[in-house]
Every structure is written in structure tokens, then in C-alpha cells.
Structure 1
Amino acid sequence: MSRASSRITLVVHAETATTTAAAFPVDEPPTERGTSAATAARDRVPRAGELRHAPDRACVATCAALGLDALPDPGLRGWDAGRWAGQTLDEVAAEEPDALRDWLTRPDAAPHGGESLESLIERVGAWLSARRAGHTLAICGPAVARAAVVHAIGAPASGFWRVDAAPLTGTDLRGGSGRWTVRATGRPLLP
């Protein structure tokens, strides 16, 4: 007996001030340039039977700019960076070097008071497992797309740091719970 197949396309929201600065995420809208780029990408978004978006402001605004009528999905919410939200890695390194080292080397660590990397990957894995057969298009933050790839290929959490997910790029997964294949990752919507 064959199992029904799923396709999930994760599109990273348009650029924000923190993605441009390579800072820990905050709940903010896209930049003007990011919104313009998303509007320009409208015709390049794949069609899907189910449309979802993270509740984060950047994802809501990106959906609007892409012309998508998607449903909010709390399972796609961005990575909670706790008190480090909005700060760059260099700023955190200067203020809390030991805490940052712990966070970078231990996937279960959350010295910032937010969500650990391990928890993020588990949460995104649970979201993937709940998908039905058919094609789901989801607008999410870069950390969610990266966590999905790590979960899909069964990589250790440290693999998260080796996956790129820039604004307005797509990650395509095929398969289903426990049997995902990464078809593409980091594919720009705009040439």
C-alpha cells in the first residue's frame, strides 16, 4: 500500500531590518525594499492547495505583498530569541560571551530565555508531521525553513548552522512524516 505524498514549499519572508543586520529576530514588518521585492515576486510563487503563514508581522506583510490569502499558523512562528532579540551576534558576544558560547555549542541551551535550537527543530518537525497529502505553501522566518531542512534529512542540530535561508527564497520538501526529501533549498523567488 502506498502512502499519500505531501509537498511543502517554505518561503522565507521579505527582508526586515534584523535580517539585513544579521541580528536576532524580532517581530517586525519587512523593509520597504523587502515589500517591493515581494510584490515583484508575485508571479513566481508556486501554486498550492493549502496556504499558511507564521503569525509574525513580516510573514503577514509578505503574504499581502505576494497577493496570498493564507491562514495564520502558530506552528510556523519565528524563533524566540528571548532577551537577545534585535541584537547582533557581535553585540551579544561582547555582553554575554559565555552564554553565547553555550548557545552555539549546546542545541538544548537557551541562555537568552527564549527557545533552544533543539526545541525549534522539534516544533518545526511536529508541524511537518501534521501536514496532509497535497501541496502546502507556507510563509515563514528563516530559522523555521532551516529547522525544516535539518529535520527532513535527520541531521544533527549542528547542521542548522550550515543551511542558508535568505529572504524570499523557497525550500521545497517532498514525502511525508518520517520520510522527507529536500528537493531544493535557498531557491530565490526572483532571478
Structure 2
Amino acid sequence: MKRILIFGLFIAISMSISLPTLADDVDAPATGDLWDNWNTRQDEREAKPVSDEEFDKALKQVDQKVNKWKNWAEKRKIPKGEEFSQSNETEILNNEQEKSDNSLPVLTFPFELKIGEDYMPVGHYQIKGEKVDGQAVFKFYQGNIEMAQIPATETHDDFGEETITFSKWEAQGDNEIKIMYGSIDLNAYTYVPIREEF
């Protein structure tokens, strides 16, 4: 019973201590709160209505700016010539040709190659295949310097490559490698002996 009395007394005291909270009336004058005078700044301004002429003048100015940029864009358009369609393959070939003109495929040899009586040292070489006097040849470059020229055998085999311009080599036993090259103009291969260890 004591517990019920103490609990009831506690609730009564807490109810008497808390005061009710009342909101300000909207039509009543401000009570000094910061948010009550939010609209006073607009009251201080004089509201000047915009006339029809001023409104039309503002619209014309905006239209002139927009038209200025439209006219500028139309002047910069590339005139259309006759249209023709190309297949996707033609576009890919043209792009590959541009790339092949700019960069040649690179081969890395971790051994010296025997070319005639001379040896081509270990290194990275750009390779270019072309026909010279009707014979396919591989030209090896380091920078702009032609390091070697080797005769090759032309073929229609693409050596299982998916790219148009490529070069690679495969070991053919311990003393020889097969160098393969492919481009739009020429697919060819050659066998080159490796310098024997000394």
C-alpha cells in the first residue's frame, strides 16, 4: 500500500511542477522571438508592380541572348556533304591503319639472333613487314634506326591472332625461333637461328 501511495504522490508532484506550454497566436503581435518577425523585412520595401512594357523588354533581352548563342552554334556547324554508309569492318580497318602508321608492334628478344654473319643483340625491337622487290622482308627498328632486315615468307595465315596488326615469336627447338607478323597489307613468317652459347 505504501508503494501505491508513494507512486501516486510522485505523479501528483510531477504534474504540478510541469507547466503547460502555449503557442503564440498568429494574429497576435510578436512576443520577441526571432522567428516571429520573419516577414517584417518585406513590409519595409515598397512593392512596385512591373508594367507590361518592362516585362516584355526583359523577355526580349533574354531571347536576344539565347538567339545569339543559337546563331553562334549554327555558324560553327560542319556542312553536311553526301552521306554514304560504311560497314563496321571498314571503320575498324581504317582505324587500325591509322594506328599502324603511328606505332609498330614490338618484339622482345631475351637472346641474340644470328643474322647472316652478324648478331642482333638482346633487346626490344619494333618490327615492320613489307614487300621489297616483290619479296616479303621484316625490318627491325630501335627508335628510328633500322637494326636488321630479314627475308620472310608471305602467307595467308593469321596465326590465330584476333588483332589486325601483330607480331610474335615462338621457339622452334633450342636453336631457332619462328617470327610471325601480320598487318593489313602483309602476313608473313621467318625462321631465325639463335646465337649458340659460347
> Of the two, which has the highest radius of gyration?
2
Q: What TM-score, normalized to structure 1?
A: 0.20
Greater fraction strand = 2
Greater fraction helix = 1
